[in-house]
Amino acid sequence: MSQHHSQRRLRLGMVGGGQGAFIGGVHRIAARLDDHYELVAGAFASDPERSRASAAALHVADERAYPDYRSMAEAERDRDDGIDVVAIVTPNHLHFEVARTFLEAGIDVICDKPMTTDLGEARELQRLVESSGRFFGLTHNYSGYSLIRQARDMVAAGELGELRVVQVEYPQDWLATRVEAEGVKQAEWRTDPKRSGPAGCLGDIGTHAYHLVRFVTGLEVESLAADLHTFVDGRALDDNVHLMLRFKGGARGMLWSSQVAPGNENGLKLRVYGSEGGLEWRQEEPNELLFTPQGEPPRRLTRHGPGLGEAAMAAVRIPPGHPEGYLEAFAQLYSDFAAHLRARRGGPEVATHQRDIPGVDDGVDGVRFITRSLESSRADGAWVTF
Amino acid sequence: MSQHHSQRRLRLGMVGGGQGAFIGGVHRIAARLDDHYELVAGAFASDPERSRASAAALHVADERAYPDYRSMAEAERDRDDGIDVVAIVTPNHLHFEVARTFLEAGIDVICDKPMTTDLGEARELQRLVESSGRFFGLTHNYSGYSLIRQARDMVAAGELGELRVVQVEYPQDWLATRVEAEGVKQAEWRTDPKRSGPAGCLGDIGTHAYHLVRFVTGLEVESLAADLHTFVDGRALDDNVHLMLRFKGGARGMLWSSQVAPGNENGLKLRVYGSEGGLEWRQEEPNELLFTPQGEPPRRLTRHGPGLGEAAMAAVRIPPGHPEGYLEAFAQLYSDFAAHLRARRGGPEVATHQRDIPGVDDGVDGVRFITRSLESSRADGAWVTF
Amino acid sequence: MSQHHSQRRLRLGMVGGGQGAFIGGVHRIAARLDDHYELVAGAFASDPERSRASAAALHVADERAYPDYRSMAEAERDRDDGIDVVAIVTPNHLHFEVARTFLEAGIDVICDKPMTTDLGEARELQRLVESSGRFFGLTHNYSGYSLIRQARDMVAAGELGELRVVQVEYPQDWLATRVEAEGVKQAEWRTDPKRSGPAGCLGDIGTHAYHLVRFVTGLEVESLAADLHTFVDGRALDDNVHLMLRFKGGARGMLWSSQVAPGNENGLKLRVYGSEGGLEWRQEEPNELLFTPQGEPPRRLTRHGPGLGEAAMAAVRIPPGHPEGYLEAFAQLYSDFAAHLRARRGGPEVATHQRDIPGVDDGVDGVRFITRSLESSRADGAWVTF
Amino acid sequence: MSQHHSQRRLRLGMVGGGQGAFIGGVHRIAARLDDHYELVAGAFASDPERSRASAAALHVADERAYPDYRSMAEAERDRDDGIDVVAIVTPNHLHFEVARTFLEAGIDVICDKPMTTDLGEARELQRLVESSGRFFGLTHNYSGYSLIRQARDMVAAGELGELRVVQVEYPQDWLATRVEAEGVKQAEWRTDPKRSGPAGCLGDIGTHAYHLVRFVTGLEVESLAADLHTFVDGRALDDNVHLMLRFKGGARGMLWSSQVAPGNENGLKLRVYGSEGGLEWRQEEPNELLFTPQGEPPRRLTRHGPGLGEAAMAAVRIPPGHPEGYLEAFAQLYSDFAAHLRARRGGPEVATHQRDIPGVDDGVDGVRFITRSLESSRADGAWVTF
């Protein structure tokens, strides 16, 4: 449960997230929700005027509304009350340059996913994080859900036995027609290779599904076969992804992500089966985790309900039956990041349950997943070593 | 959807909600979530030391951590940067005195429910609000859910035809055993007539169910028959409530609230049936509203999904399929209150969808509901005119 | 599970159930499903020609297609291969006379519910069954569901502790408009006091809900308050029923049945709560029973799945996950009746799980429930001793 | 809805299905449920004594309890009142020989799936059916569900637009441990290549999933990639199946079937997505079909509820809300078969909705599916032309 905390709020800067953006607003709510941050600076848009207007609306002082991220990194680096951390919420193609710029300025980074559009850049960022010693948090926000933490702990504790089968899916329907040609801004950049990189649905949501599998099961992919497809005429990137996975140690998996499946809003769903039991979780009803010990009746574990472990209980704010959702899970990541950022600034040690958060290694792993999937798909769905 | 806003944040004070409290923390998150408020003052606990410790943890300046609500009202009234509004989050028995004190000091009020423990006090508060011209918001938070706004609008637009039957229930299980004797603080005051008033389950959650019916349907109760019961030995207040309702105009209803129903966490559920259709909504899955036009297949309306009206679309932050929950609904009320508070301070006119929010009249109505239900129950369940 | 059985099939006659009837066809499938009966005689309709046409369609020999039930009772009584049992599937007002006629002819009876339209007749039938020593089975078919048997056994075994609260509801929507004036035959007689008796929705489905409570919990009603209402203009009988119940021993309950609730097809649902746990079951998904031991995660018990007792396991035909439904539950009653009928004819003793089946005492109890509810409703919803 | 019918019952024989068998009992109930058949002959077991004992238990005359299927085919062929049709319910390896024997004796055949264990035999049976002009029905029973008929008609009518994505899954958990070594008869033959053929989970349930896709969508597979796996030590056949599918015309699909997924009883689920809408159906709640026209709220179509077409309405027995299940769907196939068998014997023409039933071509198609999947899996999951 959210704790009282007497340390000062962390000073947050933001790159991207101006008016009309979606994910920037989410990051801001997430940062605010548990009261660990205050937003004090930003380069919110590529157009300086729009950046200043956004700053004003967001209670950011005019002098810290920057026309571009480079001047922001420089200025904030030099201030005594400069930002503690920057949140990067631009389209994908800018993640790399912005992250590098701030890391090189000695500023900690929180970055949206996918980390980069290219495996080379991902690795370079990884090296830079290592060499700089800076903090790098990656917002694979679904790993912030309390019951996902519970699932992870149950797998780690062996409650499912030896893992055998993983089924993950992430269907949506908002790109079932060519809305990118009808002025839907979110659709425009997400279907544009220049801004999204070479992967469409795969990079946008397939990576979330992949990360969730990795986070919960700890399994490593050995090889995969991918069948990517674009169903909507005139679209440049994939909008439906079929994948078969073979994991090290022998488990098998399937991954489906789609943006053209009518009736699905944000249907991320994970099922994990082992020799001793099974787990099932759906993002659209995230306050419930179904657990079946083999040969026993399924049990409905609920957020903050009976039978949960420490990590799950630490990632909630309110009693069972009072649903928490997407923003709370996102906020959980921000709170976990805050624990790390504070520990680096002399605060208390990071609690166990906040230790394993998505970082630059997960970023590389996710970009590798995209890269290998594209390779397989280009080879007509052939199996590719991971 | 949450808007950019360039006005200053409203200055919020709080009475109650110190360490260990539940609802105070909820109010603070709710106030923070949409960024309309900053918490700047408080009398967080009856013990001055605990109040100051809470203030420090909450980034409230030491000089505005008050030892009691009376000194707070005085001091804040006299400051140039005094609070715009106070949130009252104490146990029920204090609501009346605290609210009166701040209203008399000319300070706007946000108050938790039930408004008072007594109908006379409720009416006095109503008169005081009228005579003072102050703002008074009551946190019947379930009315903040987007799809509850949608349900209300559909009923008002006649999509259900003439209303016939209302079924509302609010079962919980956390008081199924005598946890108030085992150190559970939330249970202690809620089962204590001195702090809760004469109603237990009825006042704690029955009033929420009642308000939700009123908010969505607009129906007025004509008479009711109540069968209250206490199942747990040694408990002073009711823990299970059965009610039959007759509404003006001929509709009929049933209300069940319970805190001793194992397997129910926070199962508020509303069903409304009219001559032309039916609606069903569950608080534990609040992102879905089931609507059946008579003779047609049921339709699953989703938060921010297709087919929603203006009021529902104004009470969301994120796209469909990204679940919003209890805290977001609570925050919605705070944002609606902010619109009113700002309009009073020269801000823009209150938007249509933010106009009808729970206030002092709903407070009186809710206390009347409690009073009449107790009267009926004491008369062995006889019908009582409302 | 359904067993191989080497005894001859029982010879079944039927009164009512000619072409266009609903429940007659259901009884025939139910009798056939587990292969314990063969239909050999009938007075299927009041019109002799229609009775014969129905007989032909049902493979019943022409000589055993009777013009009326009196001649049928006489003729079958006198045949060496006369029927073993008659199924009475007429509208309610005929149940009494037909049952009496066959009982007096020494023929066992299976009768649809409600048993009679009048408490005096119900008691007379009870006396006649006792004095004649004949078998009398009443088709409260919902008690044939495997998981209802399980629920009953769990309550009896004390798994819920001391019972506190019972919630039962049975909403439908097919009478939300005045379809009885539009040629819907099922609606015609069900809304006609001459054929249905003095209760509409109460007698048609309210009695099912009441019986289910009695069957599962064993609780006896001490007093009740009923608020019956007719919403559809021009309808002579109630179409919505609200009831509060007080049980002997202190438990409390609510019962709602409705035929004017759009979006509800056949929504019989039972919830039982005790000091140690809770149960929930829905007729529309009858292969699942939710069981929550207080303080533990809810468990999903499934038909034929893990954790079930002997009675539940005896009332299934196929493995878990292969849904059984309404007809199978109805057939279960017929199979239970067959066990009794065979035991009377020298067959094996009735198995434990088949012993407690709805009979003439349940019929009297159900008619008393109707009578007391009507009394209360006529007294403006006053409490009435049961 | 089930109709009155005045023709004589069809005379049914059975091969297999003696005491202890599962599917034989299901076929008998299915044949009985709608009253189109009477069971009059059988070779119920390989052991003549057990065959006779089963016959006695099933009310089959001793003289028609045959020691083996060859003598049964001969004797029944020569009787004036010989069987109209034989149901073959043996383990898979016998289907071919038994079917051939009866077809050559001029007797119509109903056969369980998969049709044969080998593509050569499947094609030979196809030729034999064509040359003999006999009826051949294959019990892909899931195609008997009313709402599956509805789904099929909606796809055919273009309500989903151009098909894009098909997701089908069929998980179970009953083989998660090595129960075939613990005396579970159903597991013994299903995991034994000698009796099941070369496919385990793939042949047992994967074929059902495949057929359901074909039946509902009409899509033809162009190529597939299969990753079959055996998770349980000591098991000779696959117990988990992952498949990616490419259909002619461009649609893509995934198929998962498993018998080692704890928490899944019989979780057959089909989802079909097109340019205009999506459909979702689950076998464990078969009375509901979710239909989402793109950009509109999802609609819950219910069995016999509003909005259904002729084929769906013809495949039900009872009103909406009274659940029908597995046995009713199985019975529907038997009733459809009966319509064909009767038309061949001078009965009325087969109704439109009963025309397209699974037959010998589907049998060949299903065995081809098994064969190609095994080929792909043996080639390490490479894509194989269908």
Q: Which option is the CATH number for C143-321+354-378: 3.30.360.10, 3.30.70.20, 3.30.710.10, 2.40.50.180?
A: 3.30.360.10
C260 vs B164, B169, B262: nearest CB = B164
| Chain center to CA of A294 | 32
Please, what is the angle between helix D207-217 and helix D360-378, to 10°? 120
pLDDT at A154 over 70: yes
Tokens representing B308?
Answer: 């929603």
Enclosing H/E stretch for D222: strand D221-229
The answer, for A320 touching chain C at a CB cutoff of 8 Å, is no
Q: Which of A166, A175, A227 to mutate to test the interface with D (most CBs of D within 10 A)?
A: A227
Question: pLDDT by residue (tens digit) across A335-382?
Answer: 999 999 999 999 999 998 888 899 999 999 999 999 999 999 999 999
Using CA atoms, how far residue B47 sits from A3, B20, B66, in Å, is: 20, 13, 10
Q: Work out the minimum CA distance from D278 to partner chain B, whole angstroms.
A: 14
Question: What does the pLDDT look like over D230-258, one tens digit per residue?
Answer: 999 999 999 999 999 999 999 999 999 99
What is the C-alpha to C-alpha distance for residues D105 and D101, in angstroms, rounded to an integer? 6
Phi/psi of residue D142, each to 5°?
A: -65, -20
- Tell me the nearest-neighbour CA distance from A233 into chain D, angstroms: 11
A144-326+354-378 has which fold? Answer: Dihydrodipicolinate Reductase; domain 2 (3.30.360)
Per residue in D258-314, pLDDT (tens digit) is: 999 999 999 999 999 999 999 999 999 999 999 999 999 999 999 999 999 999 999
Chains with 3+ CB–CB pairs under 8 A to C are: A, B, D
Residue of C299, C301, C308 to mutate, testing the A interface (most A Cβ within 10 Å of its Cβ): C299
pLDDT of residue B6: 55
What are the phi and psi torsion angles at A11 (to 5°)? -90, 120
| Residue A6: predicted pLDDT | 55
Nearest to C185 by CA among C72, C45, C284: C45
Per-residue model confidence (pLDDT) at position B355: 87
Q: How far is it, in rounded angstroms, from Cα B183 to Cα B203?
A: 21
CB pairs under 8 A between B and C: 123
Distance of CA A235 to the CA centre of its chain: 25
Cα of C280 to nearest chain B Cα, Å: 9
Q: Is the pLDDT of residue B7 over 90?
A: no
Cβ–Cβ below 8 Å for A301 and C306: no
B173 in contact with A, Cβ within 8 Å: no
Q: Give how far Cα A179 sits from Cα of A169, A174, A259, A260, Å.
A: 23, 8, 12, 11
Q: Which of D162, D254, D264, D276 to mutate to test the interface with A (most CBs of A within 10 A)?
A: D254
Angstrom distance (rounded) from CA D247 to CA A52: 52
- In tens, the pLDDT along D138-166 reads 999 999 999 999 999 999 999 999 999 99
A&C contacts, CB < 8 Å: 30
Give a three-class secondary structure readout of B236-279. Answer: CCCCEEEEEEEECCCCEEEEEEECCCCCCCCCCEEEEEECCEEE
Confidence of residue B228 (pLDDT cuts 50, 70, 90): very high
Best CA proximity match to A334, nearest among A128, A3, A31? A31
Running DSSP on this structure, what letter comes out for residue A144?
Answer: G
Residue D82 has pLDDT above 70, yes or no: yes
For residue C339, how many other CB atoms are within 10 A of its CB?
20
- CB of B45 closer than 8 Å to CB of B54: yes
CB D231 within 8 A of CB D241: no
Encoding tokens for residue A171?
């269907």
- Percent of chain B having pLDDT more than 70? 98
pLDDT at C173 over 60: yes
Q: What is the pLDDT of residue B21?
A: 79
Q: What is the CA radius of gyration of chain C?
A: 20
Cβ separation A300–C299 shorter than 8 A: yes
pLDDT tens per residue across span B63-114: 999 999 999 999 999 999 999 999 999 999 999 999 999 999 999 999 999 9
CA distance D196 to D203: 8
Q: Are the CB atoms for A322 and B325 separated by under 8 Å?
A: yes
Whether chain A has a CB inside 8 Å of the CB on D179: the answer is no
D232: Cβ–Cβ under 8 A, 6 or more apart, which residues? Answer: D175, D176, D177, D178, D239, D260
Provide CB contacts within 8 A for B46, sequence distance 6+.
B68
**CATH of the structural domain D143-323+356-378, one choice from 3.30.360.10, 3.10.330.20, 3.60.15.10, 3.30.530.20:** 3.30.360.10
CATH topology classification for C10-138: Rossmann fold (3.40.50)
Query: Is the predicted pLDDT of residue A2 greater than 70, yes or no?
Result: no
pLDDT of residue A3: 43
- Residue D3: pLDDT over 90: no
Q: How far apart are CA D215 and CA D145, in angstroms?
A: 12
Which residue type occupies C219? Answer: L
Q: How confident is the model at residue B250 (pLDDT cuts 50, 70, 90)?
A: very high
DSSP output for A28-45: HHHHHHTT-EEEEEEE--
Sequence-ordered alpha helix ranges (H) in B79-142: 95-104, 119-132
Q: Enter the tokens of residue B166.
A: 């209302």
Q: What is the DSSP string of D287-318?
A: TEEEEEETTS--EEEETTSTT--HHHHHT-SS
**Residue A268 · residue A148 · CB < 8 Å:** no
Give dist(CA D194, CA D236) in Å, integer: 10
- Test the B interface: residue of D150, D280, D300 with most B CBs within 10 Å: D300
Closest CA to B40 of B64, B16, B18: B64
Homologous superfamily of the B145-356+362-378 domain (CATH): Dihydrodipicolinate Reductase; domain 2 (3.30.360.10)
Mean pLDDT of chain C: 96
B10-138 and B145-356+362-378 agree in CATH topology: no
- The residue ranking higher by pLDDT, C20 or C249, is C249
Length, in residues, of chain D: 386
**Pair type for strands C85-88 and C10-15:** parallel
**A297 contacts on C by Cβ (under 8 Å):** 291, 299-302, 305-307
pLDDT value of position C353: 87
In this predicted structure, which of B5-9, C238-242, C259-263, D39-43 has the lowest mean pLDDT?
A: B5-9
> Does any CB of chain B come closer than 8 Å to the CB of residue D159?
no
pLDDT level of residue A260 (50, 70, 90 thresholds): very high
CB atoms within 10 A of CB A249: 11
Q: Decide if B90 contacts B18 (C-beta within 8 A).
A: no
What the block records as the tokens of C38 is 């063969």
B209: helix, coil or strand?
helix
**pLDDT recorded at residue C3:** 43
Distance from CA of C306 to the nearest CA of A (A): 5
**pLDDT at site B367:** 98
Token readout for C250 is: 């202190």
Å from B130 to nearest chain C CA? 39
**Confidence check: pLDDT of A134 > 70:** yes
Express each pLDDT in C193-228 by its tens digit.
999 999 999 999 999 999 999 999 999 999 999 999
Asked if the peptide bond before residue C319 counts as cis, ω within 30 degrees of 0, the response is no
Q: Is B194 exposed, middle or buried (0-12, 13-18, 19+ CB in 10 A)?
A: exposed
Cβ within 8 Å, pair B262-C256: no
Per-residue confidence (pLDDT) for residue C6, from 0 to 100: 55
Is 80 exceeded by the pLDDT of residue D4? no
A 207-266 near B (Cβ less than 8 A): 264-266
Which tokens hold the place of C355?
Answer: 């012993």
- Bridge partners (DSSP) of residue B282 are B269
> Does the pLDDT of residue A19 top 90, yes or no?
no
Say if residue B4's pLDDT is above 80.
Answer: no
Beta bridge partners of B246: B223, B252
How is residue D180 annotated by DSSP? G
- How high is the pLDDT of residue D161? 98
**Residue with the two structure tokens 């349980």:** D232
Q: In this predicted structure, what is the pLDDT of residue D314?
A: 95
Closest residue in B to C227 (Cα–Cα): B244
Residue B274 in contact with partner chain C when CB distance is under 8 A: yes
Is B3 a residue whose pLDDT tops 60? no
Q: Give the pLDDT score at D1.
A: 38
Q: Which tens digits make up the pLDDT trace of B310-339?
A: 999 999 999 999 999 999 999 999 999 999
Domain boundaries, chain C: 10-138, 143-321+354-378
User: What values do phi and psi take at A293, rounded to 5?
Assistant: -70, 135
CA distance A154 to chain C (A): 15
What's residue B353's pLDDT? 87
Three-state DSSP at C227 gives strand
3-state secondary structure of A229: strand
Q: How far apart are CA D291 and CA D301, in angstroms?
A: 7
Neighbour tally for B347: CB within 10 Å: 15
Question: What's the token pair of residue A377?
Answer: 């798909």
